[in-house]
Amino acid sequence: MTEISMNRNNKNAVIILAQILIWAWLILTPWTISFMIGNSRHESMRILLITFTHTLPLLIIYLANFLLLVPELMFRKKKILWFLLINAALIIILDAAIYVQKILNANLPVEEQTRMYIAIVGFSFMIILCIATAVGMRYIMRWNDLQIKIREKKLKSAEAEVRWLKYQLNPHFLFNTLNNISSLTQIDADKAQENIGQLSDLLRYAIYDSNQQRVELEGEVEFMNNYISLMRLRCNEMTTIENDMKLPGKPVKIAPLLFISLIENAFKHGVNSRRESFVRIRLELVGNDLVFTCENSYFSNNSLNRIGSGIGLENMKRRLELLYHDNYEYISVIKDETYTAKVTIRNIT
């Protein structure tokens, strides 16, 4: 059973329990008061019997509406008329029963007749109040169910979009990685061949091992470290690479391939073989928050620099919104010829 379904069942259970307690309170309160003020046990039981006898018709009307008439007739447009007719018939029958009971006592004085009519009107009002309450309770439960169904539909839609984004990311990552290996073959063919196995591990993780909504952070860090090792081969002595990804002392799960686009972006736009450049990557657990920071050189004279854009980054932003919603923060700034991207996932533990 999903968490959303459990939430719906819990709310409905609370509503049903509240109704039981209210009816129990209505029936037992006169008996409790009688007992507390010192009446005899026999007198208290007599009061309880009278209260129950007068309350029972109302309870039957309420249960009939709550359990049967409202869900089966009230919520179906073509049967609302039947709902009204049946309840009207019940009111007439019960009022008639009271009237017949009263007139059996012959020679009722005028005052008693007046009280009888007032009693019938009051009883009718109580019946209508019970029916209205049953309708209200059912509407609350129906509204709750509708809200849960809307949330389930949105969740399924979000899950489908996350899967689509991941399927979109895999070919994008494969394309970029193969381009990197192609570049390596031109720089150092022997070194590139040695790293084909490492590339195979990367692709296996990206395509198969990450095929779930959450993965162990340890496996994700290993994947990113392997990717950074491959990217080092493309860099010369003018590029400084700092990699400081610390694993927390407790198990942490995270959405797969979440930060790889930032690393790709850093190497793609922040490394220049002819100028001094750098890439600095950090991952740490700060309290209960996971903080990933990626910094790289920013060459402002490049008018074609698209450091903050691309399929991978847009994909990452959308996945963050879908998977973590209000529990994340993503910022990217350019300052002192440094591009910094920082993702904070709150309460990751």
DSSP per-residue codes, 165-231: HHHHHHHHHHHHHHHHHHHHHHH-HHHHHHTHHHHHHHHHIIIIIT-SS-EEHHHHHHHHHHHHHHH
Report how far residue 224's alpha carbon sits from residue 285's, in angstroms, rounded to the nearest whole number.
17
Average pLDDT over residues 325-334: 92
pLDDT (0 to 100) of residue 272: 85
289, 347 Cβ separation under 8 angstroms: yes
Q: Is the pLDDT of residue 255 over 90?
A: no
Q: Is the pLDDT of residue 202 over 60?
A: yes
pLDDT (0 to 100) of residue 159: 60
- Best CA proximity match to 235, nearest among 199, 203, 277: 277
Max CA distance (Å), the chain: 118
Report the SS3 class of residue 128: helix
pLDDT (0 to 100) of residue 3: 53
Question: How buried is 156 (Cβ within 10 angstroms: 0-12 exposed, 13-18 middle, 19+ buried)?
Answer: exposed
Average pLDDT over residues 27-46: 81
Please state, in angstroms and as integers, the Cα–Cα distance from residue 127 to each residue in 58, 82, 122, 272, 325, following that order: 6, 17, 9, 83, 48
- pLDDT above 70 covers what percent of the chain? 76
DSSP secondary structure code for residue 82 in this structure: H
HSE of 50 in the Cβ direction (CA atoms, 13 Å)? 10
- Best CA proximity match to 27, nearest among 6, 44, 48, 4: 48
- pLDDT above 90 covers what percent of the chain? 15
Task: Report pTM.
Answer: 0.55
* Domains along the chain with CATH numbers: 3-152 (no CATH), 195-345 (3.30.565.10)
- Best CA proximity match to 134, nearest among 69, 210, 188: 69
DSSP secondary structure code for residue 310 in this structure: S
pLDDT (0 to 100) of residue 105: 55
- CA angle centred on 151, ends 11 and 149, rounded to 5°: 70
316, 262 Cβ separation under 8 angstroms: yes
Report how far residue 328's alpha carbon sits from residue 246's, in angstroms, rounded to the nearest whole number.
19
Using only C-alpha atoms, the chain has a radius of gyration, in whole angstroms, of 36
Give residue-wise pLDDT tens across range 114-152.
776 777 778 888 888 989 999 988 888 888 888 877 777
Q: Is the pLDDT of residue 165 over 60?
A: no
Q: Is the pLDDT of residue 331 over 90?
A: yes
Q: Is the pLDDT of residue 190 over 80?
A: no
Tell me whether strands 289-297 and 328-335 are parallel, antiparallel or unpaired: unpaired
How many Cβ atoms sit within 10 Å of the Cβ of residue 224? 23
Average pLDDT over residues 184-200: 68
Give residue-wise pLDDT tens across range 204-243.
777 777 777 788 999 989 989 988 887 887 788 899 999 9
Q: Is the pLDDT of residue 1 over 50?
A: no
Distance of CA 99 to the CA centre of its chain: 55
What are the residues whose beta carbons fall under 8 Å from the beta carbon of 120, sequence distance 6 or more? Answer: 95, 98, 99
Confidence of residue 300 (pLDDT cuts 50, 70, 90): confident
Question: How buried is 219 (Cβ within 10 angstroms: 0-12 exposed, 13-18 middle, 19+ buried)?
Answer: middle
